[in-house]
Structure 1
Amino acid sequence: MSDKISTSALAKLRNIEAKQLFHDLKTAGYINRADETWVLTELGRKFGGEYLEHKKFGPFIVWPQNLLIDLTATSGKTFSATQIGQRFTLNAKKINQLLQELGWIAKKDNGWHITSSGLAVGGSQRQDKESGQHFVVWHDSIIRNKRLKQSVIEFSGQDAQAHATDKSLSSFRQKFEAKHRTLDGHYVRSLGELKIDNWLYMNGVIHAYDRQLPIEADVLSDFYLPTGKVYLQYWGKDNGEMSQQEQATVRAIYAQHNFDLIEVFPHEIDKLDDILPGRLKAFGIKAY
């Protein structure tokens, strides 16, 4: 049982109005508002926020009783794609493309729409009153978001080696070397991944390998399919299958962040023609 308390209980403990505490948490970027519901952000999780499930009222956010609300690093203002681009010396179009690749926004006929992952990093939906076009604005903490900064660096090719991801990922890459070369030039870690990568390439499915999930924690996905905004996880390795505990841990991360996931098991690796077309179709991806 968590010893953390609800926002209202925390306000009472601190002898302030709940409304003021909600305001401070939103200003600090710990929570976000969407459809009359408070959403816990990645920044809020970093400071100890989490969801608990109420039997009657559903999920709600709880906090450590000694929660630090850091208002010194933020103005609480929102940035447009243009303003974000000015910070990174990129135009608004490129910023929106990077935000889309991260899975934080989605392009529709009437403009850009926020996703659940985008809400978790401080995005808010807006609509132009005159044109009716939709767009997204971002809490100013987005400028410090390491996943966005990483994407900008990778896109621009600026000092990419020095800004490589966390040492834990570097150690992982060294321990599990990607030594199998695929038809499209990727280097993957297992024969099963090689078969999946080659199948995706030969069937015209755009994919990225070893893609960092767009979250604060350092977690790599096996494959990311940007057309359907879906990740593909292979539960095998050259020396056998991943343990049930390993699988459960990874699944929990995808579920926690509402990431769509396609799973492939070792016993299916020689049946990709039979299993993948249907699983891809569920996410709007067509294979040749």
Structure 2
Amino acid sequence: MKLTVLLQGGSPQVEIGAEPLDAESSPVVDLKAEEALLGALLLDNDGFDSLGPTLTAEDFSEPFHQRLFTAMWDTRQTGELVEPIRMAERFAKDLAFPELGGVRYLAELVVRAPPIKDVPALAARIGGLAMRRRARTEEDDLDVALREARARGAMRAAKVLAGPEMLGADNFATLIGATRETVRQKLKRGEVLGLQGAKRGVRYPAWQVTQDGGLLPGLPKLFELFGDSPWAVFRFLSQPAPAFGGESPKDRLRAGKVDQVLDLAEGQARGDFG
């Protein structure tokens, strides 16, 4: 819901209405609500008792409002009267204070202040907008992180695909003595490992061909264990495995030790990385 704060000229009356709100497109700043709350507190210090336990200076969007609220709160805690002249003295050297109008600005806050009964709604409005600003900031930060991660992943993938051991379909077909169509069918059945790139098409690691011209055994089972993800199978096969004394699983497969490799793959698929 949207809380609307309407200040009618110099009248101290405030109208607070509610209407459905699109959270994605709605503004997350309400300076009028901030000014109304500060003015209400300057007019009647008893309003501090109605703020609720969660509102903080950081909930105000305007930096000067943050500093003003902090000064007002601290003054209230000492038992002193929170009023415009005392606040003006506190901010005599604050560069933003004269830009806003100085003492006149504080006086206008008081003149336009709503009644004290509106303080809880204004505090809720300001606190709610602050929560949405923080949520949007977190979402923006996450989006940036995800974009950067995808970019790093794409760069690493491109580097892998550009390696000398990565063959195109024709060269790979020649290497195993088959046709391009045969390679395509084997790829579809998970009998060969092919990696899809953004520009280079499918590339085939030459190391999956054994010394006798055959294909690495156990590939269909590895695809089954790793969710038919070629890149997951590639990472598993090419990275050194502590369980094998630093030897890579592909080297174990090339040596015919299929059961050892499949046992390790099943453990990793279960989340057993010990």
Which protein is richer in strand relative to its size? 1
Give the TM-score taking structure 1 as reference length.
0.20
Q: Which has the higher contact order (CA 8 A, sep 6+)?
A: 2
Structure exhibiting the larger radius of gyration computed from Cα positions: 2
